[in-house]
Amino acid sequence: MEKEERNNQPRQSQVIEKQEFKGRSLEDVLSLAEHVLKVPRDQFNYEIVTEKTKLFGLKNKEIVIRAWLKTEDESGAVEVFLRNLMKVFPLELTYQVKKRDQMIYVVFDGEDRKLLLKNDGALLLAIQHILNKISSQKVQADCEFFRRRKEKQLKEYALQVAQKVKETGQEEILDFMNPYERRIIHIAVNQLPGLTTESLGEGFLKKVRVFPVASDSQKKQVSQD
């Protein structure tokens, strides 16, 4: 354990070297950070420090972010975030961070693990979403094989909806889903002939449209965001 802590120290010092940038919009601030750091935005992490509107809500909106360069070993940034999360939220949780190929896997356990799985895994998926924002490599978070069970349920649901669309010839609009859920629906439906999907809306949660197409050659390029 002591050896692991020592190995993590250099990575932690890299992550906390942050610079602050201010501007009227997030796009302006990110462009400024790109100019100062001399790298494109996909090569640095950032967090929004403040977002406020001056003069009683009239114009002059100001956004302040902290930005820092991404490290080669993004699992270090993930570990630092998780350690800080455990300090802020004193949950009885343990976690393992493993890196394989171009993926980072985080597996949670502990007495409070059920809290991660409440409301259909809302907290677990929220943590995963944040981890993917701070890491340039894809991060998967899991607890008690939640992902396996969830994926099975979503695939079965996708097939049920697909069968209904095939029988009726009418599109179906599925309720709001997070990116992880949408991706499973997209993949499952688009493996079937004569059907395709698309995401509807903006933001983290979007609806999914399942609809028929004349032939496989006419299928659209599906967004799996």
Query: 212 and 172, same structural domain?
Result: yes
Dump pLDDT digits (tens) for 36-70.
Answer: 988 887 777 777 777 554 444 444 567 888 887 76
CATH of the domain at 123: 3.30.300.20
Sheet holding 61-69, edge to edge: 19-23, 61-69, 44-53
Looking at the structure, tell me whether residues 204 and 166 fall in a common domain.
yes
Return the SS3 of 23. Answer: strand
101: left (phi over 0), alpha (psi -120 to 50) or beta: left
User: Beta strand pairing status for 103-109 and 138-143?
Assistant: parallel
Range of the domain at 168: 148-218
Boundary-marking domain end, from 69, 98, 115: 69
How many domains would you assign to the chain?
A: 3
Q: What is the pTM of this model?
A: 0.54
| pLDDT tens string 163-210 | 999 999 999 999 999 888 999 999 999 999 999 999 998 888 899 999
List the CATH number of the domain containing 203. 3.30.1370.50
In a domain, 224, yes or no: no
Beta carbons of 88 and 82 less than 8 angstroms apart? no
